[in-house]
Amino acid sequence: MELLTRLRAADHGLTRHMAAWDSPWVREILPPVEEAAERTKLWWAAAVLMAAGGGRRGRRAAAVGVTCMAVAELLSNGVGKQLVERRRPPEEWIPHDDVEDRPDSSSFPSGHTAAAVAFAGSVTLSWPAAGAVCAVPAALVAVERVHSGAHYPSDVVAGAAIGLAAVALVRKAPRLLVRAVAG
């Protein structure tokens, strides 16, 4: 029980610390990242660019990325948020105006982070160079979710784990389907 109390205290402390960041780069970079990540616009745009300019490898990476992103969103928003009711970090912990823009849904897990990690992770397996490029905004999305007061760090970690699980599930699904049909 003491371990859980310590973890919760660390989660709360890190939330307050990250929300209080007020450097010029944070103020310039994170708001546009958040806007681009809304409704997965950033990942759809990346998929279109890869499919249009990356040849066969780009089309495959885009298709796998979008598929994994959809699975991650289903798992995080359709399952995770329904199973765990967690309030967002208190508004008084967030010393800037971003706190007014938070969703009303459960804080746990971060669906934005799940989608970002699933997209970037799956693209990395299909096209490592493009995946490395996608990893940068994916990491920024995770940081932004805590900075804006939308999530605790543990919500973001859970979202990232769901994103990676979606990648693994999508990679294994064809083999599992063949086994199920073959009997």
Say how far apart CA 154 and CA 103 lie, in whole Å: 17
Highest mean pLDDT among 20-29, 63-72, 85-94, 172-181: 63-72
pLDDT of residue 102: 72
Q: Are 61 and 126 in contact (CB under 8 A)?
A: yes
**Among 163, 171, 147, which Cα is nearest to 14's?**
147
Say how far apart CA 78 and CA 133 lie, in whole Å: 28
pLDDT of residue 99: 65
Give residue 22's pLDDT band: very low, low, confident or very high (50, 70, 90). Answer: confident
User: Domain limits of the chain?
Assistant: 2-182
Q: Which helix (H) or strand (E) holds 20?
A: none
Q: Are 173 and 152 in contact (CB under 8 A)?
A: no
**Among 31, 37, 66, which Cα is nearest to 50's?**
66
Q: Which amino acid is at 79?
A: V
Percent of the chain whose predicted confidence (pLDDT) is above 90:
70
Instruction: State the fold for domain 2-182.
Output: Vanadium-containing Chloroperoxidase; domain 1 (1.20.144)
pLDDT of residue 178: 60
Burial-class residue 26 by CB neighbours within 10 Å (0-12, 13-18, 19+).
middle
Q: What is the pLDDT of residues 35-68, one digit of tens each?
A: 888 899 999 999 999 999 999 999 999 999 999 9
- Does the pLDDT value for residue 176 go beyond 80? no
Q: What is the mean pLDDT of the chain?
A: 91
Q: What is the pLDDT of residues 74-125, one digit of tens each?
A: 999 999 999 999 999 998 888 877 666 677 889 999 999 999 999 999 999 9
For CA atoms 65, 79, 141, 99, the dihedral sign is positive
